[in-house]
Amino acid sequence: MEETHKKILLRNRTNLVENLDPSILYDGLIEKRVFTQDMIDEIKSSGTRRAQARQLVQDLATRGSRAFPLFLQCLQETEQHSLAELLQNGAPTVQLQPATPTQVDRPVVQPLPVCPVLDVDKQRKDEVPVNPIKSTSTTPSPSPERESLRPRPPPRTRKDSFQSYKMDASPCGHCLIINNVDFEPDSELSNRKGSNIDRDKLERRFKALNFIVEVRTNLKQRQIKHELSALSKKDHSQYDCCVVIMLSHGTEVSHSRFPGAVYGVDGKHVPVQYITNYLNGQHCPSLQGKPKLFFIQACGGGEKDTGFEVSPDEVKPSIGGADDQTDAIPMSSSSDSLSMSDEPDARATLPTPSDILVSYSTFPGYVSWRDTQAGSWYVEVLDRVLEENAATDDLATMLMMVNHEVSQNSAKGLYKQMPGSFNFLRKHLHFQTLA
């Protein structure tokens, strides 16, 4: 958005917050592509009408050059004329031209050259032509049988098929760790003893992987959003990757993309799909085509997994103990995160979120175990696997190692845990390893 329009919004923000009815604007803003459905959903989650209006005005300033005049159109169409006139005063006139179709130069189609007659002696003796057609023409027309005998280019090798992300920038990128330990009494959430151990391990590990690590502690919901928004507004053009690590209580929420939510210390949650949205290619252009990695140490729900019996060779000694706690909070939606009620919505609204990987400490719907003395199972194993294998293995392979090792543990001699990830990376990812 142009600076002139941003200043007009800022100058009139008080009036907009007081008088704007955002609920009747949403459909028009989506139709005019000022906002996406996910962005509107996030604005709605702000709470009261005033809070939604404030968030809408704030987010509007981050949109493109057409956002301001299209917003004025929406105000006129919803009969909020006084606000439209207020914003038009002092605003330069903007003519919105409809997008014109791009002229495509199409090549002239030339007929394919006719295949030469194949030497019959070179054909295999047992090859019998199918449905031979007699022709008086000296040059036979190409047939499917002859076409199939043309030499074909060699198939692509595995090395050619799977490329790797560029990961040689120094530093490699930003890593934001949000560590929520002490929760407010009104939140009715317990403090997370042992989480500082996780924080220290991951801070050291990602510094060793050549990331700029920033740690934020005990953030409320709005502060989590603020930190993610600030990260998305950074210029990542000189970096190759971005990492977000969430250490907190978690819960289930209904979703259309990534399941789960993470709690602020005030007891209000932020859905994981909103966390990822801050860094996607649309909201953070300088990270387009670059890997965005999210590591979530939080429960996916309140269900405890008792596991199932396997043969003795599959079992190794577990590391769980009597001090194990969970990061579970009862689900905050009546719909199960894997239920059929979410399936139609997911199919209708799911784009392809490229270059994003979300690694969860536990399967959606289940608790995640944390030792109050040694930290969480997931972080302990993740840290060790990265230390031992980052020099030789790609991220997807290492996360499979994490899944396997954590699955061997038992809490209180009974309960199990299964990490997993939603992987939308398009290439292999190999971290830098500093000498």
Residues identified as active-site:
249, 299
d(CA 346, CA 349): 5
For the chain, count helices (H), then strands (E): 15, 12
Using the 8-state DSSP alphabet, how is residue 328 labeled? B
The Cβ-side half-sphere exposure at 128, using a 13 Å CA radius, reads 3
208: CB partners within 8 A, 6+ apart: 387, 433, 434
Report in angstroms the alpha-carbon separations of 10 from 14, 60, 69, 338, 403.
8, 11, 16, 42, 48
Phi and psi at residue 200, to the nearest 5°: -65, -40
d(CA 352, CA 362): 23
Q: Confirm if 138 and 116 have CB atoms less than 8 A apart.
A: no
Residue 363's identity, in one-letter code, is: F
Bridge-based pairing state of the strands 356-360 and 292-297? parallel
231: CB partners within 8 A, 6+ apart: 174, 176, 242, 244, 278, 279
Q: Confirm if 407 and 361 have CB atoms less than 8 A apart.
A: no
Residue 221's identity, in one-letter code, is: Q
Using the 8-state DSSP alphabet, how is residue 255 labeled? -
Q: Confirm if 298 and 377 have CB atoms less than 8 A apart.
A: no
